[in-house]
Amino acid sequence: MRIGNTLAAILLLASTANAGAQDVATFYKNQRITMIVGYGPGGGYDIYARTLARHIGKYIPGTPNLIVQNMPGAASLRAANFLYNVAPKDGTVIGTFARNMPLLGLVKTNQNVQFDPQRFTWLGSSSSYANDAYVLIARKDATVKTIADLRDRKHAPLVLASTAEGGSGDVVPVVLRDLLELNLKTVVGYTDSSQINLAIERKEVDGRMVGYTAVKAAKPAWLAPDSPMHVLLAFGRADRFPEISDIPTARELARNDRDRSLIEVFELPYTLSRPFTAPPGVPADRAKALQQAFLAVHKDPQYLEDTGKLGLDVSPIGGEEVLRLIGKIAATPPDLMQAVNKYIAEGG
């Protein structure tokens, strides 16, 4: 009798699981998923999103089509707010925005932040920065040519470009200025990476903060030996980046242990460097299907071939790991979080 009851229970569970999978497939069949990108076309986030969108559909039950919609604004805060508050919560909209948005959501210094990062339906991150670095890259013909020059106030500041106040390209220079004593100035307001790159080439500004693999994908000539550009510093890593092993990390240049600890807090978001999420409240079976598809596509041979050609870092983590990292940021000691608040407020 017990065996019969056990068998019946197993069959019921199997039937329920199959029905759930069928429901997801039925929902997504002939469906379209919109992928929101918090920046304009051509930048690192856009390249990652479009590459993912070409391949992930076949791993989602029902094989839905995906379209990419760029939604630039406020260093991707507009897109984050949209995904959290406006986008349908049925699994038909996913998106990506700046890696520092979870940190901004936790410190709550920006009144325009309208989301709780711990409530998003996280799919994961395409890059955990295992094979990447957030670099300070500048023109070789700028007055400032070395880290020593950057610390010498006899020189004019190195002028960097950024999309909007509050983005990584604006906040990180403030951190580097104060904690590493680097003479940096940021000009904000550029629409996207393409505009920033053009401004650098026109000599309107000296350089920018940007992902190394994003440069490889969008501006590979900048990394050539005869390039007019050079990398001065690497951020977001505990150790030196092998491809530029002669370039120091921010942690190496820290003046003391407290400053190094603060830098490490700001570097935590880089472990979820290319985050993808769905709005909060997506039905559990669809959320699970999207999360499983996200991890599966990062093993897809065609996806890996495409990302390899573009020089993109593919070192994925899943949604649970993203939440763990956000929790780690949330657990930052109060005295350090106070300092984090100060730098984010100053950076926009």
Q: Please give the pLDDT value at position 63.
A: 98
Give ∠ CA 248-252-255 in degrees, rounded to 5.
Answer: 130
Per the structure, how many domains does the chain have? 2
Global pTM reads 0.79
Of 217, 250, 268, which marks where a domain is finished? 268
Beta-bridge partner residues of 135: 210, 234
Q: List, for residues 268-293, the tens digit of each pLDDT value.
A: 988 999 999 999 999 999 999 999 99
**CATH number assigned to the domain comprising residue 166:** 3.40.190.10
In a domain, 217, yes or no: yes
pLDDT band at 258 (very low <50, low <70, confident <90, very high): very high
pLDDT at 165: 53
**Domain endpoint, select from 268, 292, 310:** 268
Strands (E), the chain: 32-37, 65-70, 93-96, 121-125, 134-139, 158-161, 184-187, 207-211, 229-235, 275-278, 317-318
Q: Do residues 61 and 160 share a domain? A: no
Tell me, yes or no, whether 256 and 142 share the same domain.
yes
Residues 25 and 148 in one domain: no
Model confidence at 192, in pLDDT bands (50, 70, 90)? confident
CB atoms within 10 A of CB 305: 10
At residue 59, the pLDDT reads 98
pLDDT at 1 over 50: no
Backbone angles phi, psi at 159, to 5 degrees: -95, 120
* Domain contains 215: yes
Residue 19 burial (CB < 10 Å; 0-12/13-18/19+)? exposed
Q: Render pLDDT for 213-250 as a digit per residue (tens, 0 to 9).
A: 889 988 999 999 999 999 999 999 999 999 999 999 99
Span 322-343, average pLDDT: 91
pLDDT of 42 > 60? The answer is: yes
What average pLDDT does range 64-79 have in this prediction? 95
Judge whether 347 lies within some domain: no
pLDDT of residue 123: 98
Q: How far is CA 212 from CA 75, 149, 303, in A?
A: 19, 22, 20
Which residue among 268, 284, 306 closes a domain? Answer: 268
Q: How confident is the model at residue 21 (pLDDT cuts 50, 70, 90)?
A: low
Read off the pLDDT of each residue in 113-141 and give the average, rounded to a whole number: 96
pLDDT of residue 168: 58
Mean pLDDT of all residues belonging to the chain: 90
pLDDT band at 122 (very low <50, low <70, confident <90, very high): very high
Domain range enclosing 318 = 2-129+271-338
Evaluate whether residue 65 is within a structural domain. Answer: yes
